[in-house]
A and B are shown apart, each in its own frame.
Chain A
Amino acid sequence: MPLTSRPGILNAVMGTSYPPPPKQSQRQDVHFPRPDYTPVVVPLSSISIMSELAIDIRGVTKRYAEHVAVRGLSLQVPRGAVYGLLGPNGAGKTSTIRMILDIIAPDEGSITLFGKRHTDTGVLDRVGYLPEERGLYKKMKVRDVLKFLAELKGVPGAEAETRIATWMERMSLRTPEKDWGDSKVDELSRGMQQKVQFIGTLLHDPDLVILDEPFSGLDPINAQALKDTVVELKARGKTVIFSTHIMENAEKLCDAVCIIANGQKVLDGAVSDVKAAHAGRTVAVAFDGAPNTAVEAVLRNPALVAAMDDQNRFLELELAAGASSGELLQQLITAGASLQRFERVQPSLHSIFLEKVGATGVEAGMSGHG
């Protein structure tokens, strides 16, 4: 599992200079456009950007008749960051996102976007939203749908038409042979409909892009294209927040994450910080052959090992509080283990997630709404 695939991105949030975006591989079939931009070089004093928040949620609670979806949640998303909202199904991710977008009103707490209350006029026009469940007006022409979505965000008709034309060409929805803009939405393939939906999300050039489970239902090609788009948006200084329960995506893409479970924040912070906080507590162990009973006893000793995650080819061990890796190694050898690998590793987000949320959190949160 790659740990820090794009160190540059992480460093950007931490205040070091931001390198040009990684080279795109040229895929012909589905290629999300790279809008014209000059690579943003984040100045050394980018700490000031950190203090300027795209999203500031404070003490937000949302109750439904039967359950509490979000409980006293506070989180801050710096401008220009790619932010992951992680949690099991039913943790309150979608409820949180809907509250940011003023689709539902919180029972308690406040939400500000770019320093203004999110209910202020015009604030939500700067936000692009891709809901988890996607859909468009099936009987409308693609171009009319997009124009409508743009107008809802306050883009005037003529301007919208120009932008639609550009986007359609970039997304190869308009080629010399075929202009899909005049087709009805339900004449398009699923993949094409998703492209149209992405265009609709980004057509008004939002400063904040909110994607709810953007990777669900995407084929690998579109998923990769989406990742590229997120990187490009960041490079243009936009803020991206997306929810996911797939840790690999978050780990690759996010500058910072917030893990929520049962409507509560479990932890948040820059990915590198989160990992660093958990570093040194995780050990990867692999044996030659099956471990004997004495070794298993060592592994199950709660004074040494707090959690164990069997990764098939190796075991990922979380050291118990007060235990050291040296102590563990000594015990294992004494028990007669034939070690193939013993390594202190940086934990993956996945294992941090499992450690923090645990199986109970996943199950308790299964209530239907995200």
Chain B
Amino acid sequence: MGKLIAIIRREYLERVRTKWFVIATLLGPVMFLALTVLPVLFVSRTKASLGSSNIEIIDATGATLGARVIEAMHDSSGAKPQISIIAPSGIAAAESLATKAVMDESRQGYLILDSTTLSGRKARYTGRNTSTVPDMRRLTDAVEKAVLAMRLEHEGISASRIDSLTKVDIRLEKTQLSSKGREKSGVGSAIVGLLVAFLLYIVLLLYGQTVLRSVIEEKTTRVAEVVISSVRPEILLAGKIIGIGGVAVTQLGVWVASSVWIGMNVAPMLIKRQASAMGAASADSTARSAEIFASMPSFSIGLIVALLLFFVLGYVFYSCLYAAVGSTVNSESEAQQAATPVAMLLIVSAIFIQPVALAPQSTLASVMSMLPFSAPIMMPMRMSLISVPAWEVAVSLFGMTLACVAAIWFSARIYRVGLLMYGKRPTIRELFKWLRYS
């Protein structure tokens, strides 16, 4: 037991102390931030670009529509568009002048308001920023509001009344209905589900290969022989897998904890800051990004235990296979080729992450989450997306446990023989012979 602990401690400490580990562990949350918070911020980024008010409004309506548009745009920076009031016949001349101004970059663009605008049909905008959605959205909103206000005024409603009447800000609160009952909007849980799947995939691949490299290192430096003259190879293998697994759990723990912290503290702060920086016009989008965070699925203790269980079983399964591969090769370059079948199992699982995430109720999703090699990735993802029937979880866990037992049995035998074999890589037939050595 003391020897097993010595091996676990060595595997753990030697890895946790490396620069690589520290960097990767610290960079993880930054990646999380980049993967989750930034898209949310991009979605909500409806603030118009700088200088979008630097336009000329050519008002040929004969009414004061242009002034009303400027009022409706209410740029918080205080910049105001220039307004030229002209007769309908002067549009062509004014437009060519404005075009020149845009060309020599003294103006961002120009907006032409005419009788068709007054009748509520169209307005024309020409400028450099026509592909900037928020700018165009803002302009459209302002023109619509101005036209609406003018019509209301024609009906004899006072200006102050108009303001309060047109100020409407509806936020759609979405509730997803599932067999579990009512839940908040699916956007947040979809993000979490994908995150869980990719995190599991990355960690399984990363730490499976760490086990592979560790076995090869001991074999090529010939330390293995000294070690197994003191402990049984099974103990060495177990200690290695547990020690490296501890490293994985440490890293995963730091990642998850800091992600949750970012989700709880930093993200709302960002949203708040964004909200205060923006005018009331973007209140809607701010609320939208806040809603995404609010709809993050609440992780019950049961779900967390289940996720951990799937991770542990998946890790044991893949690290055993990687260890077996590592013991049969003589160098890292040889290992890349030899480990391909194992890596394929993981990659196939990764390929199906998206289809399963999009249709977590489908037969494909059920099957993929019950096959032992893809279950450690698929089942946790489905569990964070929807409520998976208990029997499916049970079948999945049972299958994975069986697969783990088989993987341990298989790799312990291969490992014991392979560790002392140098030279030619064994053929499949030779591997079967190794399995029969007691």
Contacts and interface: CB of A to CB of B under 8 A. Distances in A.
Interface of A: 65, 98, 101-105, 124-125, 127, 129, 131, 133-140, 144, 148-149, 151-154, 200, 368
A140 B17 CA distance: 11
Contact of B226 (A140, A151, A200): A200
B217 A137 contact: yes
A152 B217 contact: no
A103 B223 contact: no
B404 to A, nearest CB: 25
Nearest to B416: A104
Query: Of residues B3, B220, B221, B225, which shows the largest number of chain A Cβ atoms within 10 Å of its Cβ?
Result: B225
Contacts, number: 63
Interface stretch (B127-135, B228-236, B258-266): B228-236
Given A138-B217, A152-B3, 11 more contacts: A101-B229, A102-B232, A103-B225, A104-B420, A125-B230, A135-B221, A139-B14, A140-B14, A148-B6, A152-B227, A152-B230
B317 to A, nearest CB: 27
A134 B221 CA distance: 7
Nearest to A160: B6
Contacts of A98: 420
B173 interface: no
B156 interface: no
A149 B230 CA distance: 9
A251 to B, nearest CB: 27
Interface in B1-59: 2-3, 6-7, 10, 14
B430 A65 contact: yes
Given A65-B430, A65-B433, A137-B14, A152 B231 contact: yes
Interface string B415-427: 0000010010000
* Nearest 10 Cβ contacts at the A-B interface: A135-B222, A135-B221, A151-B6, A152-B230, A133-B222, A129-B229, A101-B229, A131-B225, A135-B223, A148-B10
A245 B128 CA distance: 87
A103 B228 contact: yes
Contacts of B220: 135
A196 to B, nearest CB: 12
Query: Of residues A134, A135, A144, which shows the largest number of chain B Cβ atoms within 10 Å of its Cβ?
Result: A135
B438 interface: yes
Nearest to A139: B14
A153 B3 CA distance: 8
22 contacts: A65-B433, A102-B232, A103-B229, A103-B420, A129-B229, A131-B222, A131-B225, A131-B226, A136-B221, A136-B223, A137-B217, A138-B217, A139-B14, A144-B10, A144-B14, A148-B6, A151-B3, A152-B7, A152-B227, A154-B2, A154-B3, A368-B423
Contacts of A104: 420
Interface in B354-369: none
Nearest to B214: A137
Interface string B79-108: 000000000000000000000000000000
Contacts of B14: 137, 139-140, 144
Nearest to B232: A102
A102 B438 CA distance: 13
Contacts of B218: 137
A149 B223 CA distance: 10
Interface string B289-328: 0000000000000000000000000000000000000000
B430 A133 contact: no
B166 to A, nearest CB: 70
A104 B418 CA distance: 12
A283 B292 CA distance: 99
Contacts of B420: 98, 103-104
B426 to A, nearest CB: 10
A301 B3 CA distance: 64
B68 to A, nearest CB: 73
A144 B14 CA distance: 10
A92 to B, nearest CB: 15
Contacts of A134: 222
Nearest to A105: B438
B425 to A, nearest CB: 15
Contacts of A129: 225-226, 229
A124 B223 contact: no
Interface string B424-437: 00000010010000
Contacts of A152: 3, 6-7, 227, 230-231
Contacts of A153: 230
Nearest to A185: B221
A129 B227 CA distance: 10
A312 B17 CA distance: 61
A137 B231 CA distance: 17
Contacts of A103: 225, 228-229, 420
A124 B229 contact: yes
A137 B433 contact: no
Contacts of A102: 229, 232
Contacts of B222: 131, 133-135
A102 B234 CA distance: 13
Nearest to B423: A368
A140 B18 CA distance: 11
Interface string B313-351: 000000000000000000000000000000000000000
A208 to B, nearest CB: 12
A28 B2 CA distance: 39
Contacts of B223: 135-137
Nearest to B231: A152
Contacts of A101: 229
A85 to B, nearest CB: 16
A136 B232 CA distance: 18
Contacts of B232: 102
A125 B231 CA distance: 9
A98 B225 CA distance: 9
Given A138-B221, A140-B14, A154-B3, A149 B229 contact: no
A152 B229 CA distance: 9
A143 to B, nearest CB: 13
Contacts of A200: 226
Contacts of B225: 103, 129, 131, 133
A7 B2 CA distance: 44
B221 A149 contact: no
B345 to A, nearest CB: 29
A166 B226 CA distance: 22
Contacts of B423: 368
B230 to A, nearest CB: 4
A149 B3 contact: no
A231 to B, nearest CB: 24
Contacts of B230: 124-125, 149, 152-153
Contacts of A139: 14
A91 to B, nearest CB: 18
Nearest to B7: A152
A131 B229 contact: yes
A73 to B, nearest CB: 19
Contacts of A149: 226, 230
A152 B218 CA distance: 15
Nearest to B18: A139
